[in-house]
Amino acid sequence: MFNVYEFFNRINEVKPESRLDAGQPDIPVRREIIEEAVESLRRGETGYTSTGGIRELRERIAEFEGVSTDEVIVAPGAKILIAAEIASAKKVAVVSPHWNAYSLIAQQFGREVEVIKTTLEERWTPGVGEIKADLLIINYPNNPTGRVLSGKELRELLGVAEESGIKVLSDEVYAELSFTRFTPARELYENVVTVKGFSKLYSMTGFRLGYAIGERNEIRRIQRFIESTVTCVPPFVQRAGVKALELRDELIKEVRRVYLERAMMASKMLRGFDFVEPEGAFYIFLRTPQDGMTFAERLLSRGVAVFPGVAFGDYPNFIRISLSGKGLERGLRVIREELECALESRATEGWEGSSRGVSAEGSR
């Protein structure tokens, strides 16, 4: 299995001029959020809190998510919540390409993983006949493809899960960064646990703050898992989360606009090559005319960092480009130059570059 963290460490050693590898937002955390955390520390809010999260934060989340407070739990990042769900399953199914953490966590718990592979030719839309697992993990807007399933496509996928009584974990950490209509999975199916976080919209990656929404008994089960592992989220981090939610509507407009503009620019600069234009999040999953790992290494030698497609499943001829790092425009120019060079010098038999997909605004 490709080791993302080893490759990430290599990138850090090289110190490339263009960092288009990690899903680390480059938009600074709002000053008001930082100040709230500092003020909380000054007030001496440094002890344990209830495992589920402080009431004010859960109430804010419940209000805009349209649920009750006992259907919300707060945790130190989304990953531990995903781990809580995977730990409760015997076999996990994941729609691929996918964030590698799902597979790594499943491996840690000794869980078998069923991969539901999607293709560029089908615009990364899952065509599922049967799922032989008791937990299905979905992620839309998707990392790494930027795809957002339509309501019809999502309903069909969830219908398969419902037929077999499969629980669905819907990772919606990029939900507020959708450029087209986004349908939360829980609106279409009851047996859903939704996981979201503060890392992408609010750029609070280092704060480690996430939350889950689910049926009351499911939330209690997750709470027992949190109690036995990481205990709780520091109170000053939760206070920062409350402040972030006060800025939510303003930030959605501001941050979404920034990433939409970048997605449109990147799609224009890479026009003629094979990818689905982003409908959300801040990534492009692009087919390369040669092995993706080799191509990523070549880009790194020219000061541009990206992740090879094998970091997201069985996609050896792809790279993921993050639109959230420094040196974006320069990096895209180098990527285009290397794509053109690879096509000229080692044209891959049967490979044709054509940007097939939707516009960044989501129109077909």
Q: What is the pLDDT of residues 314-326, one digit of tens each?
A: 999 999 999 998 9
pLDDT in tens, 8-58: 899 999 999 999 999 999 999 999 999 999 999 999 999 999 999 999 999
Share of the chain above pLDDT 70, in %: 95
pLDDT in tens, 148-172: 999 999 999 999 999 999 999 999 9
H-state helical runs in the chain: 4-14, 31-42, 55-65, 78-87, 101-108, 151-163, 216-227, 235-246, 248-269, 292-301, 328-345
Q: What is the pLDDT of residue 129?
A: 82
Mark residue 184 as left, alpha or beta (left: phi above 0; alpha: psi -120 to 50; beta: remaining): beta
Domains 7-27+249-343 and 31-247 belong to one CATH topology: no
Residue 266 tokens, joined: 């990147």
Measured between alpha carbons, how far is 221 from 88 in angstroms, rounded to an integer? 9
What ranges do the domains of the chain cover? 7-27+249-343, 31-247
CATH class of the domain at 7-27+249-343: alpha beta
What is the band of 347 on the pLDDT scale with cuts at 50, 70, 90?
low
Average pLDDT score over residue span 218-229 = 98
Q: What is the pLDDT of residue 225?
A: 98
Q: What is the pLDDT of residue 357?
A: 40
- Does domain 31-247 fall under CATH 3.40.50.150? My reply is no
Helix, strand, coil percent content, the chain, rounded in steps of 5: 45, 15, 45
pLDDT in tens, 291-307: 999 999 999 999 999 99
pLDDT in tens, 83-128: 999 999 999 999 999 999 999 999 999 999 999 999 999 999 998 7
Query: Is residue 360 scored above 50 in pLDDT?
Result: no
Q: What is the pLDDT of residue 351?
A: 46
